[in-house]
Structure 1
Amino acid sequence: VEDITSPFLVVGAALTGVLTVSLVEALHRTRLVKADAAIGLVFPVLFSIGVILIARYAGNVHLDIDAVLLGELAFAPFNRFVVAGYDLGPISFYVMGGILLLNILFIALFYKELKLASFDAGLAAAIGFSPTLIHYALMTQVSLTAVGAFDAVGSILVVALMVAPPAAAYLLTDRLSRMLLISAGVGIASAIGGYWTANLFDVNIAGSMASMAGLIFLLVYLTAPGRGLIAVARRNLHQRWEFAQRMLAVHLLHHQGLPEAQQECHVHSVHEHLNWEQEFARRVARLAEKEGLIYQERGLLLLTGKGRDLAEEAMLY
């Protein structure tokens, strides 16, 4: 192919991507190497072949490193699609628009099959689907999308928008359909926010969009309601205090009403028998009393009916 705008380049690159995935999985299925090792073996070989082919047959072609890695969206409108003397707009608009429509059509037609083959390949095979065929059809679409986007925006933005939006969506929902919509929304927000940030600070657009995608993911990672770092930390803290109250209730159940209760259950000495810090024991006792699990009588910590039920329930485990 002598024309760098030829669609055969996109098709050939997409097929090479599928070949790469196929070789990695074939090597991994031998069980002689792990998945990451298989990737490390296949990628350098194919990359080396590509370098040799460029040096042999395209030595005079100018490849700008910044454009390849970072991409330059500001230059995309200058590569025009001209038919019979009529300027129809940027080529990348038609390429990516066509790939977008193809992806939407592919997902709409095969959503159930893709979902089943991705999450339960055994069941998919049992009811007559071919998980392997569905998998490679999906990989073909991914490869075609990556190649088309790579030509317009560079590798960094392609990787950023293929990883950050889905990862953020995964932290926000467990429903696949909702995850797809949230992922698309995060990608759109990253593109718009990144563009205006680049415009404001006069920096690279693709790099700014990738940074915005990373910032959105970081925000979701910290604040996601169920899986965010803050939510997990709060849940762990709550479980710590809840477990401590259970331990206190079990301890009191074992010693309440016995001669040693004066030492084992006294508010000033119970921390020694549970091997706790005194201040920690006081906080646990206050929380347990607030929850109606214990009450104090002449300095002794005594179980309420609710506390006894909790201790007996804990003993069952």
Structure 2
Amino acid sequence: MTFDSNAFLIIFTGALIAISCGFLGVFMMLRKMSMTGDAISHAVLPGIVIGFFVSGSQRSLEVIMGAGLLGILATLMIEGLRKKAKVQLDASIGITFTLLFAIGIILINLFAYKVDLDQECVLYGEIAYLPIDLWVTKSGLNLGPRITWLAGLNFFFVIGFIYLLFKELILTSFDESFSSVIGINAKGVNLALMSMVSYTTVSSFESVGAILVVALLVVPPATAFLWTKSLMPLLQLTAALGILIAILGYYLAYWIDSSIAGMMVTVAGIFFLLSAIIKGKKPSWLQGTYKAAKPLGI
């Protein structure tokens, strides 16, 4: 087995996606909204279809904008069902993502059945094709793999988002009522977070697929939380896990000739199971006993 430029690009891109998803997943987990990412990843399908209708391309800005708007709509629907209709959070998530995802499939079957746009290209991705999907400018300049550029751009967006709204994200995650009292728009921060999750999900579709993005949003932060309760170490350990997942996932997939993206998430699951066995107890956030004060020790 050799380490060539293609292997580096695949591992590097996978690590960028895993870290981006993991950082957002940390704040989703602290809000006890981890599976909202699952709802968003499925609910954006109608937005992708509409964006494709408008632009005629699967790789256009309209597709990303459509998916982002549907992600925000899904968030509003979940919150509306939970607060106005008094539906439990898990039920509101299930209702929202199944409804919107079904609408997306119907739109594909009715209007896009003759083009290369189906639910499988959204649910599953293959990062192994990354080295041959190049970004070539109109002047003929080859800038390298297009998905790597998308993953890098998304990574810097996520880092910038967390840096700019770090205080707001902390306060709204741990005490939404207090954050409202001191003048922070908790609903606006929540919508901004959901929008970033939507964009991250869409930008990662072609490489790892929607289902595996959900795993990267949930599993690395949950694994890190087994080892630390402080926020900064939680983010750092999540990033380290993302890098390890990309490296081990690539080489194990190469070894057994399997899906690279699928193996990366399998490695993430193994890390979680081993951590749970070593720690010998369930993470406190699963038991509903998470204490807000500890992660503030940054």
TM-score over 0.5 (shorter chain): yes
Is there any run of 5+ residues in structure 1 with no aligned partner, and where? 233-317
Distance in 1 between residues matched to 2:56 and 2:120, nearest whole Å? 23
Matched, 1:53 2:107: yes
Matched, 1:117 2:172: yes
**Does the 8 Å CA contact 2:125/2:261 hold for their aligned counterparts?**
yes
Q: Report the CA distance between 1:8 and its aligned residue.
A: 1.8
Judging changes above 3 Å, is the alpha-carbon distance between structure 1 residues 80 and 29 closer, same or farther for their aligned structure 2 residues?
A: same
CA-atom RMSD in angstroms: 2.0
**Does the 8 Å CA contact 1:223/1:231 hold for their aligned counterparts?**
no
Distance in 1 between residues matched to 2:110 and 2:273, nearest whole Å? 44
Q: Deviations over 1:269-292 (max 9, x none)?
A: xxxxxxxxxxxxxxxxxxxxxxxx
Distance in 1 between residues matched to 2:63 and 2:282, nearest whole Å? 46
Distance in 2 between residues matched to 1:8 and 1:80, nearest whole Å? 20
**Does the 8 Å CA contact 1:70/1:153 hold for their aligned counterparts?**
yes
Q: What does 1:64-83 correspond to in 2, within 5 Å?
A: 67-83=121-137
Distance in 2 between residues matched to 1:78 and 1:129, nearest whole Å? 46
Matched, 1:88 2:181: no
Matched, 1:5 2:70: no
Judging changes above 3 Å, is the alpha-carbon distance between structure 1 residues 64 and 19 closer, same or farther for their aligned structure 2 residues?
A: closer
Q: Which of 98, 103, 115 pairs up with 1:44?
A: 98
One-letter amino acid matched to 2:151: M
Matched, 1:211 2:266: yes
Distance in 2 between residues matched to 1:66 and 1:43, nearest whole Å? 17
**Does the 8 Å CA contact 2:108/2:118 hold for their aligned counterparts?**
no
Q: What does 1:117-136 correspond to in 2, within 5 Å?
A: 117-136=172-191
Q: What does 1:131-280 correspond to in 2, within 5 Å?
A: 131-224=186-279, 228-229=280-281
Give the TM-score, by structure 1 length.
Answer: 0.68
Matched, 1:20 2:74: yes
Q: Report the CA distance between 1:204 and its aligned residue.
A: 0.9
Q: What secondary structure, in the 3-state scheme, does the structure 1 residue paired with 2:216 have? A: helix
**Does the 8 Å CA contact 1:156/1:207 hold for their aligned counterparts?**
no
Q: Percent identity among equivalent residues?
A: 41
Q: Deviations over 1:71-118 (max 9, x none)?
A: 211112222111121110111111111110011011112111110111
Give the TM-score, by structure 2 length.
Answer: 0.72
Is there any run of 5+ residues in structure 2 with no aligned partner, and where? 1-54, 285-298
- Structure with more contact order per residue of length (Cα contacts < 8 Å, sep ≥ 6): 2
